[in-house]
């Protein structure tokens, strides 16, 4: 892909993503206040975040993969259950991931 | 109490900004690995400013995907920001096109999560703007560092960064599953459904698409039952 095409991809993608954000803020309130819309929207983040957790922790491209990321996730879950602060959770998860990488080569 | 809540909001926003900054290094490094120069990586962080879409795009480019699928994958993942905007509009109530245009740029996973988690509307707005500003600054600076330092980043540091990303999403998800959340049992079922659908689809659809499909599937599955309940 040429530099020019790459720039076009970057700029068109950026503009599109921005317009998607703007559209959300511009939807009329009456539409937003429908019960089923508010209900679905209430649960979209849980579905989304869980899907991202699963994909980021256990996949690499089209393959399902088990590696240090799962160990990091387990450590993170334990830290969250013990009410550790956000930063501590991330540091522990990162350390677990690095440790598994070092141990498994 | 109000000032305590304010302090907590500011502390969490800055903490999140720092954490997301770590992720920005990974993005900068990955963008360089996918063949983008430093200016292109910076343009993505400054103009696109939605991490999952940025990762999806360089993932497709790095794997040799075409322009159409690269843009398409970024847009597919960007659709959730539309949903977030719908959710945030009543809270932010941005008056005038200029404020709305400015607010829109910072409608992302983290600003939405922080704003929605805030105890009231006023703190929600504060959380949105402070989180947005902190992450925007951190994300762009660390994209630059990652892009320039890609070659220097060791494998072990990369493994640590890889483990931080899902942990960060889990930390954002966690409060929604607790007893204090609204309808935690439904939230847990929805989360489990989203994770399972995404993993099952992973081998069969382009990278990133399974996340969007999981959200759509779970939302559609939840709709009739919830309408009846309401």
User: Is the whole model's pTM more than 0.80, yes or no?
Assistant: no
Q: Is B200 on the interface with A (CB under 8 A)?
A: no
CB contact under 8 A, A17 and B164: no
**Same domain assignment for residues A65 and A94:** yes
Name the helix (H) or strand (E) containing B119. Answer: none
How far from chain centre, in Å, is Cα A28?
28
Are the beta carbons of B195 and A29 separated by less than 8 Å? no
Determine contact, residues A39/B230, Cβ cutoff 8 Å.
yes
pLDDT above 80: residue A105: no
A interface mutation test: which of B115, B140, B164, B167 has the most A CBs within 10 A? B167
Name chain A contacts of B178, Cβ cutoff 8 Å: none
Q: How far is CA A51 from CA B14, B32, B197, in A?
A: 25, 26, 8
Q: Which domain holds residue A4?
A: 1-33
CB pair distance less than 8 Å for A24 and B199 = no
Q: For residue range B62-87, what is the model confidence (pLDDT) as tens digits?
A: 767 678 878 887 887 788 788 889 88
- Measured between CB atoms, which of B18, B40, B81 is closest to A24? B81
> Do A42 and A29 share a structural domain?
no
The CB density around residue B64, as the number of other CB atoms within 10 Å, is 9
Q: How far is residue A53 from each of residues B4, B134, B137, B168, B215, measured CA to CA in Å?
A: 31, 23, 25, 8, 13
Domain ranges of chain B: 1-161, 177-229
**A11: exposed, middle or buried (C-beta count within 10 Å: 0-12, 13-18, 19+)?**
middle
Give the model confidence (pLDDT) of A50-86 as tens digits.
888 898 889 887 889 999 999 999 999 999 999 998 7
Query: Considering only CB atoms, which chain A residues are within 8 Å of B52?
Result: 52
Residues A98, A59 share a domain: yes
3-class secondary structure, A60: strand
My answer on whether A103 and A69 are in the same domain is yes
Q: Please report which confidence band the pLDDT of residue B2 belongs to, taking 50, 70 and 90 as the band edges.
A: low
CB contact under 8 A, A29 and B53: no
Same domain, A16 and A47: no
A57 and A98 assigned to the same domain:
yes
* Per-residue pLDDT at B124 exceeds 60: yes
Say if the Cβ atoms of A14 and B162 lie within 8 Å.
Answer: no
Q: Based on the fold, state whether residues A98 and A49 are members of the same structural domain.
A: yes
Domain check: are A12 and A45 in the same one? no
Q: What domain count does chain A have?
A: 2
Q: Is there a single domain that holds both residue A52 and residue A82?
A: yes
- Which B-chain residues 55-94 have CB contacts (< 8 A) with chain A? 57, 59, 61, 63, 67, 70-71, 74-75, 78-90, 92, 94
A62: nearest CB among B40, B203, B227: B203
Summarised one tens digit per residue, pLDDT across range B168-179 is 779 878 988 988
End-to-end C-alpha distance for chain B, whole angstroms: 35
Chain B residues with CB under 8 Å of A46 CB are 173, 176-177, 187, 190-191, 194
The predicted-structure confidence for B149-206, as pLDDT tens digits, reads as follows: 876 667 888 788 788 778 877 987 898 898 887 788 889 999 999 999 989 998 988 7
b/e for B176-196, b at 16 or more Cβ within 10 A?
Answer: bbeeebeeeebbbbbbbbbbb
Same domain, yes or no, for A26 and A57? no
Clarify whether residues A23 and A47 are in a common domain: no
Are both A78 and A48 inside the same structural domain? yes
Residue of B37, B94, B164, B207 to mutate when probing chain A, most A C-beta within 10 A = B164
Residue of A nearest to B65 (CA): A1
């Amino acid at each position: 892909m040429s530099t020019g095409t790459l720039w076009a991809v970057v700029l068109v993608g950026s503009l599109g993503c921005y317009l998607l954000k703007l559209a959300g803020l511009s939807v009329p309130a009456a539409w937003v206040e429908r019960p089923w819309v508010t209900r679905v929207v209430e649960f979209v983040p849980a579905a989304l975040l869980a899907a991202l957790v699963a994909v980021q922790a256990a996949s690499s491209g089209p393959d399902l993969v088990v590696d240090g990321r799962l160990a990091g996730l387990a450590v993170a879950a334990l830290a969250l259950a013990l009410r550790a602060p956000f930063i501590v959770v991330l540091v522990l998860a990162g350390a677990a991931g690095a440790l598994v990488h070092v141990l498994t080569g | 109490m109000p000032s305590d809540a304010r302090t907590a909001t500011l502390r969490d926003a800055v903490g999140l900004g720092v954490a997301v900054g770590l992720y920005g290094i990974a993005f900068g490094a990955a963008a360089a690995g996918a063949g983008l120069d430093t200016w292109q990586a910076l343009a993505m962080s400054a103009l696109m400013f939605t991490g999952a879409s940025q990762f999806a795009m360089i993932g497709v480019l790095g794997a040799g995907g075409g322009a159409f699928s690269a843009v398409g994958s970024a847009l597919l993942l960007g659709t959730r920001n539309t949903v977030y905007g719908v959710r945030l509009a009543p809270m932010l109530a941005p008056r005038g096109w200029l404020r709305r245009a400015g607010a829109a740029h910072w409608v992302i996973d983290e600003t939405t999560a922080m704003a929605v988690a805030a105890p009231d509307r006023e703190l929600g707005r504060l959380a949105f703007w402070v989180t947005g500003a902190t992450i925007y600054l951190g994300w762009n600076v660390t994209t630059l560092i990652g892009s320039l330092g890609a070659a220097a980043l060791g494998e072990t540091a990369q493994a640590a960064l890889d483990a931080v990303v899902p942990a960060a999403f889990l930390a954002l998800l966690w409060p929604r599953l607790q007893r204090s959340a609204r309808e935690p049992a439904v939230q847990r079922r929805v989360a489990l459904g989203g994770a399972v659908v995404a993993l099952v689809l992973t081998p069969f659809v382009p990278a990133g698409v399974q996340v969007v499909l999981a959200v759509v599937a779970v939302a559609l599955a939840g709709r009739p039952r919830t309408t009846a309940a309401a």
